[in-house]
Amino acid sequence: MDAARQRRRGRPPGYSIRRVYPSGAVRWTGLYQERPGGRYLSAGTFDTMREADLAWMEKAVVAGRLLPSDPRRELTPFADFVDRYFEQVVFNSGNTKQTYHYVARAHLIPAFGDRALRDVDREAVAA
């Protein structure tokens, strides 16, 4: 069973796939699930996996797959959101997940952990 099919079995909110074209060019396509149990839609094709991951995550947020759609839930502390994020998102490598989780725990949670999710915006990050 190929890697893409294995990821679909767990039905994550999204993932990125590598595409190699006949010219030898490598591009990445981000796919996100429109609703739990629903079909996957393309979030676009990009030069890097990081761009594709960011695109599908943004689309999943809009579709309500990563963030709660109920505005009252935006009061969720940032630290709780980070925990939920790492439970839902599928990473291509265990090392990637460990690294991102370390960065979140070492840098993001100390800075934003007690803040409500809706209060963590560009201005808060820049400060």
Q: Over the stretch 26-57, which tens digit does the pLDDT of each residue have?
A: 999 999 887 777 788 899 999 999 999 888 88
- Catalogue all structural domains in the chain, each as residue range(s) with its CATH number: 9-66 (3.30.730), 70-127 (no CATH)
3-class DSSP state of 89: coil
Q: Helices in the chain by DSSP H: which ranges?
A: 3-9, 49-62, 78-88, 94-103, 109-112, 122-126
Q: Read off the pLDDT of each residue in 17-23 and give the average, rounded to a whole number.
A: 94
Per-residue tokens: 2:
């190929």
18-32, 88-102, 103-117, range with the lowest pLDDT: 88-102
